[in-house]
Amino acid sequence: MISSLRGRLFLGLTAMIVLAGAIGAIFTYKWAFDEAIEIQDAALIQIASLAQSGSFNANAPVPEIEENAQLRLIDLGRTLGGTPDERRLFGLKDGLHTASWNGQAIRVLLRTRPDGSRYAAAQPTSIRDDTAADMAVRTLLPIVVLIPCLLVVAGFVITRSLRPLIRLAENLDARRADDLNPLPVADAPTELKPFITSINRLLMRIGLLLDQQRRFVADAAHELRTPITALSLQTENLDAIELPEGARSRVAALRQGMHRTRRLLEQLLAVARYEAKPTFGEMQHVSLDETAKEVAADLLSQAHDRCVSLGFEILEPVAVSGEPVMIATMIRNLLDNALRFTPRDGSIDIGIYRQDETAILQIEDTGPGIASGDLSRIFEPFFRGSNPEGDGSGLGLSIVKRIVDSLGGNIELGNIAGAGRSGLRVIVRLPSLD
């Protein structure tokens, strides 16, 4: 069964056109055939009239027509006699008849002269039928040519009529996952308006559900941050107290867990913030290279503790449009991710440069890279890959993706493959400012 609406419409119209054409062709053929027979009967009548006036000699082919029509004039005389065929013809009344002559079926017109003699104008029925069939077939040629033309026109009309539906699907496919703006209804065809209206109501309900979810996550994270901060302060106060070695190790584990929880809450608040309003604050002229230097400087001590070389491979002045906190968060999350996976004595190289009208942020590390099966899911919230490292929450790259999308850019991750080298290359492309 055909699942395509276009295919169903075209198949239905094709069946209707072919069926209507076939029925029309049958009636047209019959009508044209009968008309051709009547025309040939009229020709017999005309020839008989000419013979009666003495224009043609009897018992001879009609001049200039014999080759195609095989018309003949037969003189039957005044009395019943002659050959059996002549006697049979003589016994017929004046008018058109179908008879036999020399074992061949003929169409014959009998006439009686004023002196009582009779004559006939005759033509073989096989010639008449062939001529009528030929004329009828010629009459069908326009219909035979018209049917394929109608099919082409039907296909064109169907394609044009369904184009708004195709554009609607393309519009939906081209949207970002968080774009829940209603679809335009004003210029849509009347038949599509109820469908588009239903989609818009569905988008509105989805938007309300997402807003409720975001508010819940933000409120929960905000409410949890205060007790977590208080617990962190209490664990720090325990440093001033003399505790047994076993108790200190437990306090250190507790402190690490509190740090991870606080980091997770911060990331959750960031996710809720960027989903609820991707471009908070006024868009400004932000120096990408200066922001990257500030973020890298903040992380130098952490890189030093891990014995990781953190520096710039290329640094060019490039400006982008955005909010400074967004740009800094994006770079920090990328560098945090690189530091987490880069082993001791490894390196992280940062590149800031301009390519045509695009600002490029490139970060390369010497870590293990990302498993090929994880690349398609790496931007999903809370996804940490098949080989998670450290105390990450799986939200950093998800936040980066939201920021990059909100700034009209794109991000690309790829493993670095080379002789004796591995790592991950992250390339962020953003529209640059002149």
* pLDDT at residue 159 tops 80: yes
What 3-state class would DSSP assign to 183?
A: coil
Q: What is the pLDDT of residues 259-305, one digit of tens each?
A: 667 766 666 666 666 655 544 455 788 899 999 999 899 889 888 88
Report the pLDDT value the prediction gives residue 360, as an integer from 0 to 100: 93
Quick one: average pLDDT of 146-154? 87
Lowest mean pLDDT among 1-5, 26-30, 249-253: 1-5
Q: Per the structure block, which two tokens stand in for 211?
A: 């807003």
* pLDDT at residue 429 tops 90: yes
Quick one: average pLDDT of 138-167? 85
Backbone angles phi, psi at 237, to 5 degrees: -65, -25
- Reported as type and span, the H/E element at residue 109 is strand 104-112
Query: Is the full-model pTM beyond 0.85?
Result: no
* Structural domains of the chain in order of their starting residue, each with its CATH number: 5-147 (no CATH), 193-273 (1.10.287.130), 279-431 (3.30.565.10)
Q: What is the pLDDT of residues 318-376, one digit of tens each?
A: 999 888 888 888 898 899 888 888 888 899 999 999 998 899 999 999 988 888 777 77
Band the pLDDT of 217: cuts 50, 70, 90: low
Report the pLDDT value the prediction gives residue 177, as an integer from 0 to 100: 66
Q: Which range has highest mean pLDDT (308-322, 373-387, 416-430)?
A: 308-322
Nearest alpha-carbon partner for 177 in 429, 393, 379: 379
Backbone angles phi, psi at 50, to 5 degrees: -65, -40
DSSP 204-254: HHHHHHHHHHHHHHHHHHHHHHHHHHHHHHHHHHGGGS---HHHHHHHHHH
